[in-house]
Amino acid sequence: MKPPGTPASLLPSLPPQARLLIVRLRSIGDIVLLTPALRLLKNWRPGLRVSVLLETGFRELLEGNPDVDEILQLEKGAGWQKVTARLQMVRELRRREFSVCLNLHGGPTSAYFTAASGARWKLGFHHFRTRWAYHLLVPDARKFLGQEDIHAAELQAAALFWFGMPRTEVPPAQLFVRPSHAEWWREQRTQIGIAPNRAYALLNPAARLETKQWPPERFAQIGTYLQNELGLLPLYHGGPGESSVLDAVERAAGASILRLQDASLGQLAAALAGARVFVGNDSGPAHMAAALKCPSVVIFGSMSPKIWGPWPPQSSGRYVQNPFDCNPCPGYQCHRFQHPECILSVTVEQVIETIKNVLA
């Protein structure tokens, strides 16, 4: 099957109220960086019915977003439970009769749901391995956008540009705090020990990769600076399985620390929305902070902030990174040094200076 005319005529040719499925299974940062493209799409064609397929646990990132008509959540599982969940999701997708399915994820699971979605037009990127699953592919965005570096937020919008959405400036990422999560945080902060009128900073000392993990003892020093010099209570966030990092911060601090641990993403958003400043590694919470317009300082190691930094750049925050000729790299391990010097070279003094600039 061929769409009418060129790829650029596909989205404009969709009838009013046509259904469009976007597959963006994970992770936190990727989903937050999807929100600018969603806003552009809805501003241009408000009548389109936009559904987003996510893995379980990420739903709260899009709840309350007016640019999303439906959130489809793929439940986790193993064995027959996993098979059953996938078959049920396929039935749900096909029942909706999507006109377009746009895969922005690219892995084998997302390719499976794209192929099985029943959508008339299945779209993906040229670098996806499973090209058989798609009718049309987005070419190298650097070429048709005329940019050397393409930020992840721009890349997701570029897919829509290629298929006919008018090219325009990519807006900031955005999140919305539900009233129930705001109420939860009002109660939780009191239990933690943060009075309603007390200013606080939220620090995120954990990271998925060693090349993105600034040492916990340096986060302890930043917490001491925030409290003693700026009068901000340091609140340390840890996600599932990250308690050991908070323990390391506490040992380095030599005293108990305030913890926000294992909060849901919606609850974390409520805490970020009230923080005076966010300081953390290159991670999902950093993108959430930027989307909530929380002043931010993000510490980068192996990855490029030009591609993976909070969007838009310099909107309400700054990043700290030292140049290395081997940077950026995938970051799964350091192939040049015994330890990842890119992240370890960042000093406490650099981060403090950046905090001053952000709060100024």
Q: What is the pLDDT of residues 240-260, one digit of tens each?
A: 999 999 999 999 999 999 999
Q: Is 48 a domain residue?
A: yes
**Of 131, 162, 193, which marks where a domain is finished?**
162
Residues 106-114 have a mean pLDDT of 94
What is the average per-residue pLDDT within 87-114? 96
φ, ψ (nearest 5 deg) of residue 270: -65, -40
Instruction: Assess if residue 33 is contained within a domain.
Output: yes
Position 113: which residue type? F
Same domain, 134 and 241: no
The reply to whether 333 falls in a domain is yes
Q: Are residues 146 and 241 in the same domain?
A: no
Q: Output the pLDDT for position 218.
A: 98
**203 and 66 within one domain:** no
Q: How far is CA 359 from CA 19, 226, 276, in A?
A: 43, 11, 8
140 and 236 housed in the same domain: no
Answer whether residue 1 shows pLDDT above 70: no
| Together in a domain, 158 and 183 | no
Cα–Cα distance measured from residue 215 to residue 196, given in angstroms and rounded to the nearest whole number:
31
Q: Is residue 92 part of a domain?
A: yes
Instruction: Give residues with Cβ within 8 angstroms of 243, minimum separation 6.
Output: 261
Shared-domain flag, residues 193 and 155: no
Is 325 part of any domain?
Answer: yes
- 95 lies in a domain? yes
Q: Are residues 252 and 188 in the same domain?
A: yes
Q: Which residue has the tokens 């996993």?
A: 82
Tell me, yes or no, whether 54 lies in a domain: yes
Decide which of 162, 189, 204 is a domain's last residue: 162
Same domain, 51 and 191: no
Is there a contact between 302 and 331 (Cβ–Cβ < 8 Å)?
yes
Spatial contact of 297 and 281, defined as CB atoms under 8 Å apart? no
pLDDT in tens, 269-304: 999 999 999 999 999 999 999 999 999 999 999 999
Residue 171 lies in a domain: no
Per-residue pLDDT, 3: 53
Question: Can you give the CATH number for the domain in which 68 is found?
Answer: 3.40.50.2000
153 and 213, same domain (yes or no): no
Helix (H, G, I), strand (E, B) or coil at 278: strand
Please report which confidence band the pLDDT of residue 97 belongs to, taking 50, 70 and 90 as the band edges: very high
| Beta partners for residue 103, in sequence order | 23
98 pLDDT more than 80: yes
| Closest of 97, 115, 93, 105 to residue 55, by C-alpha | 105
pLDDT, tens digit, for every residue of 139-196? Answer: 999 999 999 999 999 999 999 999 999 999 999 999 999 999 999 999 999 999 999 9
Of 162, 195, 215, the residue at which a domain comes to its end is: 162
Same domain, 73 and 118: yes
Asked if 136 and 184 sit in the same domain, the reply is no
Query: How far apart are the C-alpha atoms of 205 and 218, rounded to whole Å?
Result: 9
Tokens matching residue 343:
């992240």
* Structural domains of the chain, count: 2
Clarify whether residues 76 and 221 are in a common domain: no
- Domain with 76, as residue range(s), is 7-162
What pLDDT does 4 receive?
57
